[in-house]
Amino acid sequence: MSADELSYVHGTSDVPLLGNTIGEQLRASVARFGEREALVVAHQGVRLTYRELWDATTRLGKARMARGIARGDRVGMWSPNRFEWLVAQYATARIGAVLVNVNPAYRAAELEYALRQSGQVMLLHAKGFRTTDYGEILGRVRGRCPTLAQVFELESQWEELHATAGETSDPALAAREASLTFDDPINIQYTSGTTGSPKGATLSHHNILNNGYMLARIMGYSEQDRVCVPVPFYHCFGMVMGNLASMATGACVVVPAEAFDPGATLEVIQAERCTSLYGVPTMFIGQLAHPDFDGFDLSSLRTGCMAGSPCPVEVMKQVVDRMNMKDVTIAYGMTETSPVSTQTRTDDSLDKRVGTVGRVHPHVEVKIIDPETGVTVPRGVRGELCTRGYSVMLGYWSDPEATAGAIDAGRWMHTGDLATMDAEGYVNITGRIKDMIIRGGENIYPREVEEYLYRHPDVEDAQVIGVPSEKYGEEVMAWVKTVGGTSLTEDALVAFCKGNIATFKIPRYWKICDEFPMTVTGKIQKFKMRDISIEELGLGAVAAEETA
């Protein structure tokens, strides 16, 4: 078999990788775009030019140095989207500290784990998020976190934090910046695994700056673009694909709210004349379903990025047609790969843009292997997607065993995602290895069933999971959200499936619901759906049975 018949591609490019640290790149952008807006945070009423952003990061960087923050020290940020988050992101990078992204949804046990596992010495935190009081949670766990010496609340202690800035000289800051290299670890992001404790993906300047830059180049960003970022900063989607992609090309980041709100997002797009919009599929579904959707002027939009989970084909078509996002792209990746490995291009055909996750990113390699043998499979054959290149993380923080389990001896990152690659190199994600349902010996991929259910005119969203079965090992179950709360029965859904998909793929159980369990980033938590379903269906005894 010739090489071009195998599922392996590498992203050749005439655009070189950046050899800068994040601070050096920000300095270059300030020199080029100093008086242009860099950041608009609608809910805080904040507007910063590139020069004002630079000055804010200088002040915070000096204050942290005066408070003893050394190169390599871990500094946490526990907050929803605020201007302080982005300032802290760049200030941390400029002094060589490692920013630890703390999920805004964390509660006591999760916060304590992140603080202790990364050895954080300073934590900046919001007063709270939604109904959660961060100060109360911190009060319960701080005594068990021996490295955590300094804590500052953004709302009440932001100025107090900066009080020491004058104690660090300009030459001292410049010397610190000059000592950094682009391969230094600069960021820890905890992955939300379905089992076990989260693992801290450790990323370098080189990892995340270049990934954001390459994504921006593919979408054609320039200083004229205004990028609406309703996705959270604590996640790669916000801080890399949003913040760093914009900074590297002179675009402006526009933040609608602390957390995703469909109405606030639509309002900001209209008011700020945004040209690009980010989101996971559930966010776009939420905006399209907004009762006042047709009243918003979205004519300024031209591009954007949809990522985080597979996008239903019908949703993608509506985003192109109804949201004016003719050049919208789909991106695929994972936190451990900074995050993007493949992306559709703005000039791809609609079929490629709605039916695949695109082609390999510049300077990245992708292959699809047989999960059992490790052998690269032919084009069109399903297997596990692996990626290699500048974007692969340095490793999991203080966890060499987990690192070795994810990155093999050849530096290939094993994603755990099932995929196919066509003759032109376009990749299609077909499911997770662990998500696959095995019913009586038949392999069922939830994505395939979900895509079919999306065709029903009254189905807004659908998620398919496997639940335990004494007879078959597993049975198929579908959770379904209806359009505008329309009435839809299980019998009607079964009738819709009969004769159109194989009988063994038709869900045995159905749950008509208003919402799905989700992470803060909008990712569906299928393991929680499974736990809820097992309890509601009375399948606890079956689930507890040991299997081979």
Helices 108-118 and 134-141: angle between axes, nearest 10 degrees: 60
**Residue 446 main-chain phi, psi, to 5 deg:** -50, -35
- What are the DSSP calls for 50-81, one per residue? HHHHHHHHHHHHHHHHHTTPPTT-EEEEE-SS
Instruction: Tell me what the mean pLDDT of segment 396-402 comes to.
Output: 96
Q: What is the pLDDT of residues 66-86, one digit of tens each?
A: 999 999 999 999 999 999 999
**Beta-strand pair 150-153/120-125:** parallel
Query: Which letter, b or e, does each residue of 295-326 get, where b requires 16 or more Cβ atoms within 10 Å of its Cβ?
Result: ebebebbbbbbbbbbbbbebbbeebbeebbbe
Q: Are residues 290 and 145 in the same domain?
A: yes
Instruction: Tell me what the mean pLDDT of segment 114-143 comes to.
Output: 96
The answer to whether residues 63 and 95 touch, using CB atoms and an 8 Å cutoff, is no
Q: Are residues 382 and 467 in the same domain?
A: no
**Residue 146 main-chain phi, psi, to 5 deg:** -65, -25
**Residue 195 main-chain phi, psi, to 5 deg:** -135, 155
Q: What is the CATH number of the domain that holds 445?
A: 3.30.300.30
The answer to whether residues 223 and 250 touch, using CB atoms and an 8 Å cutoff, is yes
Q: Does residue 78 fall inside a structural domain?
A: yes
Taking CA atoms, 478 is separated from 108, 226, 451, in Å, by 32, 38, 12
Taking CA atoms, 108 is separated from 142, 187, 518, in Å, by 10, 22, 19
Q: Above 90 in pLDDT, residue 363?
A: yes
Which of 52-56, 190-194, 424-428 is the least confident region?
Answer: 190-194
The answer to whether residues 231 and 279 touch, using CB atoms and an 8 Å cutoff, is yes
| Domain range enclosing 245 | 22-410
pLDDT computed for residue 547 by the predictor: 35
The answer to whether residues 396 and 199 touch, using CB atoms and an 8 Å cutoff, is yes
The answer to whether residues 254 and 227 touch, using CB atoms and an 8 Å cutoff, is yes
Q: What is the pLDDT of residues 222-232, one digit of tens each?
A: 999 999 999 99
Q: What is the rounded CA–CA span in Å between residue 466 and residue 473?
A: 9
Q: What is the pLDDT of residues 6-41, one digit of tens each?
A: 999 999 999 999 999 999 999 999 999 999 999 999
Q: What is the rounded CA–CA span in Å between residue 345 and residue 359?
A: 8
Which of 121-125, 287-291, 360-364, 434-438 is the least confident region?
Answer: 434-438
The answer to whether residues 213 and 248 touch, using CB atoms and an 8 Å cutoff, is yes
User: Measuring CA to CA, which residue among 389, 395, 339, 396 is closest to residue 367?
Assistant: 389
C-beta neighbour count of 419 within 10 angstroms:
23
Q: Are residues 500 and 371 in the same domain?
A: no
Q: Are residues 160 and 274 in the same domain?
A: yes
Instruction: Tell me what the mean pLDDT of segment 116-138 comes to.
Output: 96
Q: Are residues 381 and 507 in the same domain?
A: no
What is the amino acid identity at position 65? Answer: M
Q: Are residues 459 and 376 in the same domain?
A: no
Q: What is the rounded CA–CA span in Å between residue 79 and residue 99?
A: 13
Instruction: Tell me what the mean pLDDT of segment 476-492 comes to.
Output: 93
**Where are the strands (E) in 483-539, listed by range?**
509-512
Q: Are residues 453 and 492 in the same domain?
A: yes
**Residue 234 main-chain phi, psi, to 5 deg:** -65, -15
β partners of residue 144 = none
pLDDT computed for residue 194 by the predictor: 36
Q: Does residue 529 fall inside a structural domain?
A: yes
Its sign, for the CA torsion 75, 159, 226, 28, is negative
Tokens 């065993």: give the residue.
Answer: 401
Instruction: Tell me what the mean pLDDT of segment 272-301 comes to.
Output: 95
Q: Does residue 123 fall inside a structural domain?
A: yes
Q: Does residue 12 fall inside a structural domain?
A: no
Percent of the chain with pLDDT over 90: 80
User: Measuring CA to CA, which residue among 198, 204, 201, 278 is closest to residue 237?
Assistant: 278
Q: What is the CATH number of the domain that holds 48?
A: 3.40.50.12780
Q: Are residues 387 and 452 in the same domain?
A: no
The answer to whether residues 356 and 349 touch, using CB atoms and an 8 Å cutoff, is no
The answer to whether residues 146 and 139 touch, using CB atoms and an 8 Å cutoff, is no
Q: Does residue 2 fall inside a structural domain?
A: no
Give the model's confidence band at 195: pLDDT under 50 very low, under 70 low, under 90 confident, else very high: very low
- What's the farthest any 2 CA atoms get from each other in the chain? 74
Q: Are residues 264 and 394 in the same domain?
A: yes
Q: Are residues 37 and 113 in the same domain?
A: yes
**Beta-strand pair 37-41/46-49:** antiparallel
Q: What is the pLDDT of residues 131-150, one digit of tens each?
A: 899 999 999 999 999 999 99
Structural domain total, the chain: 2
The answer to whether residues 323 and 314 touch, using CB atoms and an 8 Å cutoff, is no
Q: Does residue 527 fall inside a structural domain?
A: yes
Q: What is the pLDDT of residues 238-260, one digit of tens each?
A: 999 999 999 999 999 999 999 99
Q: Are residues 357 and 462 in the same domain?
A: no
Q: What is the rounded CA–CA span in Å between residue 463 and residue 245?
A: 31
Q: Does residue 431 fall inside a structural domain?
A: no
Q: Among residues 410, 428, 459, which one ends one of the domains?
A: 410
Instruction: Tell me what the mean pLDDT of segment 164-181 comes to.
Output: 98
Q: Does residue 426 fall inside a structural domain?
A: no
pLDDT computed for residue 500 by the predictor: 83
Instruction: Tell me what the mean pLDDT of segment 325-331 comes to.
Output: 96
The CA dihedral of 381, 386, 391, 396, to the nearest 10 degrees, is 150
Q: What is the pLDDT of residues 514-529, one digit of tens each?
A: 999 987 777 788 889 9
Rg of the chain, C-alpha, whole Å: 23
Q: Are residues 406 and 442 in the same domain?
A: no
The answer to whether residues 209 and 248 touch, using CB atoms and an 8 Å cutoff, is yes
pLDDT computed for residue 192 by the predictor: 57
DSSP 333: E
